[in-house]
């Protein structure tokens, strides 16, 4: 049963990361910064957004591949569980330490995210923590159902 839950989480994560990659490839968050940011800042932000999208796509693809044979990729899955916990901590700290309403004000394409951006980061952190716990429980399970 734990194996099926882990596989389901990897499939869900792969789908989520595919859409996350599309969001970042589109640069939709940067639509309105053109009138206030210098070209160098826009170019850098666009590059970083698309770079993040590329890595999100890579991790999504890996999630689909890992779920095919989780026993074979146990060490890699354990590494992703540790990373997920650390990244969840980062997102939690970011959410608690930033005022996105203030930071994104005046930039509609960014500001639209601010009403729920802290909640989004908290939900993503919770999903990462949940994945870490699932990986941990699966890794100590001796029955390998």
Given this model, what pLDDT does residue 108 score? 61
Given this model, what pLDDT does residue 114 score? 56
Given this model, what pLDDT does residue 97 score? 83
Question: Got the DSSP string for 39-96?
Answer: HHHHHHHHHHHHHHHHHHHHHHHHHHHHHH-TTTTHHHHHHHHHHHHHHHHHHHHHHH
**3-state SS of the chain: helix, strand, coil percent to 5?**
85, 0, 15
Given this model, what pLDDT does residue 113 score? 59
Distances (CA, A) of 84 to 41, 53, 59, 130, 136: 29, 17, 12, 9, 11
Given this model, what pLDDT does residue 144 score? 53
Given this model, what pLDDT does residue 62 score? 94
Cβ atoms of residues 78 and 136 within 8 Å: no
Which pLDDT tens digits describe the chain residue by residue (145 residues)?
A: 788 899 999 999 999 999 999 989 998 878 777 778 888 988 998 999 999 999 999 999 999 999 999 989 999 999 999 999 999 999 999 888 877 777 766 666 665 555 677 788 889 999 999 999 999 999 987 665 4
């Amino acid at each position: 049963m734990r194996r099926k839950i882990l596989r389901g989480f990897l499939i869900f994560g792969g789908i989520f990361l595919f859409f996350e990659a599309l969001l970042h490839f589109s640069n939709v968050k940067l639509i309105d910064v053109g009138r206030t940011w210098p070209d160098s800042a826009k170019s850098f932000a666009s590059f970083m957004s698309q770079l993040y999208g590329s890595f999100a796509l890579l991790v999504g693809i890996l999630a689909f591949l890992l779920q095919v044979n989780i026993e074979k990729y146990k060490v890699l899955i354990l590494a992703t569980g540790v990373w997920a916990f650390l990244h969840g901590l980062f997102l939690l700290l970011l959410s608690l330490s930033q005022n996105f309403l203030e930071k994104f004000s005046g930039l509609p394409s960014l500001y639209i995210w601010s009403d729920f951006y802290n909640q989004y980061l908290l939900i993503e952190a919770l999903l990462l923590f949940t994945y870490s716990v699932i990986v941990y429980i699966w890794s100590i399970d001796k029955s390998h159902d």
